[in-house]
């Protein structure tokens, strides 16, 4: 049974939430999206890995890109979806299948938009950048990302969010020396040594700089830790993976240098890095979108693929029905009225 | 090519060191031991899993047990073995294949010992107690462990070591709450919380009690740590596995209660526990062995299967050629003269 793109957008959201699509396992959902879009005569549909690209080609003066990722973080005992009052609960409801549902409904029900539209449904946004479907397209077929303006339907609670914070993930390694755990003093315990790394993280106070009028909020967190050889061996290595979120007044190089300073004396290896993007709301195309949709823009704290469009010279904003603080939580939900609101505002913008 | 039990015991040690036998992978070595012993007419040989039992049945007034484990901790780029001067280097040389080699040579070359002998070559001593081959025998066929006295050929640098420290392994769990790592303040970081567990370990000062005249040395160490959900998620759980080594003036229950007190406020789960054994050198059978072998006994710091014999009422000591501080280190070696010394002393004791 395929997806119904003509019914209620909240029901469509529930349907795609219930197609589990943890990063790396988007195939079933990509299949469903492709199958639903391919019969539509006004769209050219392409499949690239588990990324689906659907475009109108009406010869309009402007082309806009509307993009959303198909993947979610690991399920946390929060599937299948369920409705409670005005809320739709479940893994991916906020981040960001409600946005994907709006895209799908618009793709089907606005056959003659006033601007040509490229809809991008892509894979692996929630994991290391090297697997990101949009990055792959940006490198292999950058023409697919080109446009006068781009909207990413990441969760913003139906408010336009400008720019995005950068993200840098490093492995900080504490060294040690193995010994039998009955004679620990003959060796040196790397896990105990890693306590110094955690001391730095526990003492961290976040910076909250204002950039182009919007306030950001940085972060520094351990996201993984691993160490240990055997149950009776003093471990000789402990690795803490640290994720730094940094505001767009810092370059990637500055962020890296900051981390290397914080963890001086430890081996620091960069495992994932994505630049921040300045708000960019002063660009004319961005101003037109802001005028059409309304509201007061605010800063985007999470990293989003806005930065990839920004790097290609395409002004881009985040705008979607999900609620950012709920993303990646066990109790993730989306407010159903926000899904309808986003659908209406974008429909107005594409048909004005 | 089988093992040569009649040649030099140091060469025999090298041969069995070169048969890799990390815990759970003892099969090839158990095969070789069984094949070498089975043709000897004065021994009854049995195989139980990867444990080999060889016994004389000469109707002597006393029966002694000589035991050693076949397994090693994980290889650490320290195989194959190599000789440098008086030292034989390699994984398992000290702990405890030099002792196993002495056992094998004695089993072959002392066909008519003055005491009946049970030789026990067993598996999985270096991992959690539940997999230990000697524990399995002690539960399923305790008669195989019975005797008037037992010698465990664990590394003691050719000095008799009495008793052994107990070992308790617990998982201490730090809780947290997931959130997107770009908005860490919406969640609670379990890895940062685990910093409090490491604080306790880093502040620990070991107790060194004297028991029955021998000085012990306790220990408290993290041996594993794990935590993390995804690279952009604030982790909701971090587990530190802690190994406590305790002197024989403490019961297992007291040791557990001590750990639960240290980590009050955290979930503590026992994953492995083995009682300590008091020195027991005042037992007449132990005194006879001490007189025959000579030297001044000292405390055994590591846990050894002495405790299993002790629990069955069989007095037991540790005595072997390996050097305890070198066990489980990358640069593990055994002094070749100590292997010859142990062989000679035990041969004298079995033929006096």
Chain A residues near residue B198 by CB distance under 8 angstroms: 191-192, 194-195, 198
Per the annotation, the verdict on B71 as an active-site residue is yes
- Among the partner-chain residues A73, A229, A325, the one whose CB lies closest to the CB of B230 is A73
Could you give the ipTM of this predicted complex? 0.71
- Mean pLDDT (whole number) for A25-44: 98
Give B228's Cβ-side CA count (13 Å radius). 18
A1 pLDDT more than 70 = no
- Between CA B344 and CA B92 the distance in angstroms is 21
> In this predicted structure, what is the pLDDT of residue B283?
72
pLDDT for res B243: 97
Q: Which of B167, B184, B196 to mutate to test the interface with A (most CBs of A within 10 A)?
A: B184
The whole-angstrom distance between B191's CA and the closest CA on chain A is 6
Span A68-101, pLDDT tens digits: 999 999 999 999 999 999 999 999 999 999 999 9
Q: Is CATH 1.20.1600.10 the classification given to domain B166-274?
A: no
| Mean pLDDT across chain A | 94
Instruction: Provide the shortest C-alpha distance from residue B215 to chain A (in Å).
Output: 14
Cross-chain residue pair B192–A180, CB shorter than 8 Å: no
Low-confidence ranges of chain B (pLDDT < 70): 1, 285
Q: According to CATH, where is 3.30.70.360 located in chain B? A: 166-274
At residue B1, the pLDDT reads 66
Between CA B315 and CA B320, with CA B318 as vertex, the angle to 5 degrees is 145
Q: Which of A289-293, A305-309, A336-340, B266-270 has the lowest mean pLDDT?
A: A289-293
The confidence score (pLDDT) of residue A126 equals: 92
Mind telling me how many Å the CA of A187 is from chain B's nearest CA?
8
State which residue of chain B sits closest to A332, comparing Cα positions: B179
Q: Annotated catalytic, B125? A: yes
Give per-residue pLDDT as tens, B111-123: 999 999 999 999 9
Query: Of B34, B71, B237, B305, which residue is the catalytic one?
Result: B71
Domain B9-163+277-351 of CATH type 3.40.630.10: yes
> Which of helix, strand or coil describes residue A214?
strand
Q: Choosing among A233, A238, A332, which should be mutated to test the B contact, i.e. which has the most B CBs within 10 A?
A: A233
Reported as a single tens digit per residue, the pLDDT across A116-136 is: 999 999 999 999 888 999 999
> Nearest to residue B339, comparing CAs of B110, B96, B31?
B96
What's the pLDDT score for residue B190?
98
Residue B256 has φ and ψ, to the nearest 5°, of -65, -40
Residues A214-243 have a mean pLDDT of: 96
Do the Cβ atoms of A192 and B182 come within 8 Å?
no
Could you give the C-alpha distances from A193 to A234, A262, A265, B343, in angstroms and in order?
12, 15, 11, 42
Q: Are B37 and B67 in contact (CB under 8 A)?
A: no
Q: What is the pTM of this model?
A: 0.72
Question: For the stretch B224-240, what's the b/e string if a residue is b when 16 or more beta carbons lie within 10 angstroms of its beta carbon?
Answer: bbbbbbbbbbbbbbbbb
Helical (H) or strand (E) element with B286: helix B284-293
Angle of helix B27-37 versus helix B98-109 axis, rounded to 10: 20
pLDDT band at A314 (very low <50, low <70, confident <90, very high): confident
Q: CATH 3.40.630.10 in chain A, residues? A: 9-163+277-351
Looking at chain A, the whole-number percentage of residues with pLDDT higher than 90 is: 80
């Amino acid at each position: 049974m395929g997806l119904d793109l003509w019914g209620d957008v909240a029901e469509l959201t529930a349907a795609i939430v219930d197609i589990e699509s943890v990063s790396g396992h988007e195939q079933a959902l990509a299949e469903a999206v492709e199958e639903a879009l391919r019969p539509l005569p006004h769209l050219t549909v392409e499949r690239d890995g588990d990324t689906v690209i659907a475009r109108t080609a009406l010869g309009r003066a402007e082309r806009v890109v509307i993009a959303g990722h198909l993947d979610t973080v690991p399920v946390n005992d929060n599937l299948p979806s369920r409705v409670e009052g005005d809320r739709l609960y479940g893994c991916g409801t906020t981040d960001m299948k409600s946005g994907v549902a709006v895209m799908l409904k618009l793709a089907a029900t606005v056959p003659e938009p006033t601007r040509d539209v490229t809809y991008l449904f892509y894979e692996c946004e929630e994991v290391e950048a090297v697997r990101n479907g949009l990055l792959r397209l940006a490198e292999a077929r950058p023409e697919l990302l080109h446009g006068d303006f781009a909207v990413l339907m990441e969760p913003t609670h139906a408010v336009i969010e400008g720019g995005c914070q950068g993200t840098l993930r490093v492995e900080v390694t504490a060294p040690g020396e193995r010994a039998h755990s009955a004679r620990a003093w003959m060796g040196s315990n790397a896990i105990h040594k890693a306590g110094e790394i955690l001391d730095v993280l526990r003492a961290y106070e976040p910076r909250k700089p204002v950039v182009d009028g919007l306030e950001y909020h940085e972060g520094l967190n351990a996201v993984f830790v691993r160490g240990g050889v055997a149950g009776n061996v003093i471990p000789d290595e402990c690795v803490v993976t640290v994720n730094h979120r940094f505001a767009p007044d810092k370059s990637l190089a500055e962020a890296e240098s900051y981390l290397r300073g914080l963890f001086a004396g430890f081996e620091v290896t960069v495992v994932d890095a994505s630049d921040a993007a300045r708000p960019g709301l002063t660009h004319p195309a961005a101003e037109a979108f802001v005028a059409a949709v309304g509201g007061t823009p605010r800063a985007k704290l999470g990293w989003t693929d806005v930065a990839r469009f920004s790097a290609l010279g395409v002004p881009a904003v985040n705008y979607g029905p999900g609620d950012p603080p709920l993303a990646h939580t066990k109790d993730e939900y989306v407010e159903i009225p926000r899904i309808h609101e986003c659908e209406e505002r974008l429909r107005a913008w594409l048909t004005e």
